[in-house]
C-alpha cells in the first residue's frame, strides 16, 4: 500500500518531467518517516528503495536515506505535514534564479497556489541545506523553491504534495511563455 503510493507519485514526477536528475519523497508515521533511498530512481521504486528511520533519532538505516533527509526531518518538526515531495521542476527552477518569489499567472486553475517564496538568495544552496528556513516557510505555504535547485511541497498525502508541485510547474511554464512573448514584441 505504502509502496504503491511512492511508486505512483514517483512515476508521475518522472512522466511530467518534474525531476531532472533526482528527487525524493517521504511520508511521516508518528515519530518515524519513510523516505526514498539515496540515489534511488523514482520512476521505478521497489521495496528496498524505501528507508524507514527516525524523525529525531538516527539508526542503522539513516545513512541509506536520501541526502535531503535533514530537510524532510525539519519539515516534519515544524509543520503538520504527513508527506513531502522534493522535485526539480525545470521552469520553476529557471524562474527561481531570477525571481525572489514566484507569482502564478494562472490563479483561476490553481486556487490553492499563491505566491511561492524562493529561498536561498545570497546563500549557497546545496542538497540537504536550508532545512530550517524551508521548514519555517512551509508553516505558511504549501510549497517553496530553493533557488536554482528545486521545490519542496507538503501535504497530508504524497499525491497532494505532488499536486502542488505540478500546479507550480504549470504556472511557471505559462510565466516563461509570457516572458518569452514580451521579449520578442517589436518596439517594446
Ligand atoms: Zn534536489
CATH architecture of 2-184: 3-Layer(aba) Sandwich (3.40)
Phi first, then psi: give them for residue 34, nearest 5 degrees: -115, 125
C-alpha cell at 135: 521548514
Read off the pLDDT band of 188 (50, 70, 90).
Answer: very low
Find the 165 Cα to ligand 1 centroid distance in Å.
13
Pairing mode of beta strands 116-119, 143-146: parallel
Q: Over the chain, what is the mean pLDDT? A: 90
Find the 85 Cα to ligand 1 centroid distance in Å.
10
Look at residue 184 and tell me whether its pLDDT is greater than 50.
no
Tens of pLDDT, residues 83-123:
999 999 999 999 999 999 998 776 555 556 788 999 998 88
Find the 23 Cα to ligand 1 centroid distance in Å.
5
Domain boundaries, the chain: 2-184
Find the 21 Cα to ligand 1 centroid distance in Å.
8
pTM: 0.91
Find the 125 Cα to ligand 1 centroid distance in Å.
10
Mean pLDDT in residue range 49-56: 97
C-alpha cell at 35: 523516505
Find the 62 Cα to ligand 1 centroid distance in Å.
18
Find the 158 Cα to ligand 1 centroid distance in Å.
17
Alpha carbon 14 to its chain's center: 13
Find the 88 Cα to ligand 1 centroid distance in Å.
6
Please report which residue ranges of 25-155 form alpha helices under DSSP H: 69-78, 90-96, 131-137
Question: In Å, what is the CA distance from 20 to each residue of 13, 41, 85, 98, 120?
Answer: 10, 11, 14, 19, 20
- Whole-angstrom Cα distance, residue 26 to residue 51? 9
Of all residues in the chain, the percent with pLDDT exceeding 90 is 77
Span between the terminal Cα atoms of the chain, in Å = 55
DSSP conformation letters of 4-28: HHHHHHHHHHHHTT-BSS--EEEEE
Amino acid at each position: 500500500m505504502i509502496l504503491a503510493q511512492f511508486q505512483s507519485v514517483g512515476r508521475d514526477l518522472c512522466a511530467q518531467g518534474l525531476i531532472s536528475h533526482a528527487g525524493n519523497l517521504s511520508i511521516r508515521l508518528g515519530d518515524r518517516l519513510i523516505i526514498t533511498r539515496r540515489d534511488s530512481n523514482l520512476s521505478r521504486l521497489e521495496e528496498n528503495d524505501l528507508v524507514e528511520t527516525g524523525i529525531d533519532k538516527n539508526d542503522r538505516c539513516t545513512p541509506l536515506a536520501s541526502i535531503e533527509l535533514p530537510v524532510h526531518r525539519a519539515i516534519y518538526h515544524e509543520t503538520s505535514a504527513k508527506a513531502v515531495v522534493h522535485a526539480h521542476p525545470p521552469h520553476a527552477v529557471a524562474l527561481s534564479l531570477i525571481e525572489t518569489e514566484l507569482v502564478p499567472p494562472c490563479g483561476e486553475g490553481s486556487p490553492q497556489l499563491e505566491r511561492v517564496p524562493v529561498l536561498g538568495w545570497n546563500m549557497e544552496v546545496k542538497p540537504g541545506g536550508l532545512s530550517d528556513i524551508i521548514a519555517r516557510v512551509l508553516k505558511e505555504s504549501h510549497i517553496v523553491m530553493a533557488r536554482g535547485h528545486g521545490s519542496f511541497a507538503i501535504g497530508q498525502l504524497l499525491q497532494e504534495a505532488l499536486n502542488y508541485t505540478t500546479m507550480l510547474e504549470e504556472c511557471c511554464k505559462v510565466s516563461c511563455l509570457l516572458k518569452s512573448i514580451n521579449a520578442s514584441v517589436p518596439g517594446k
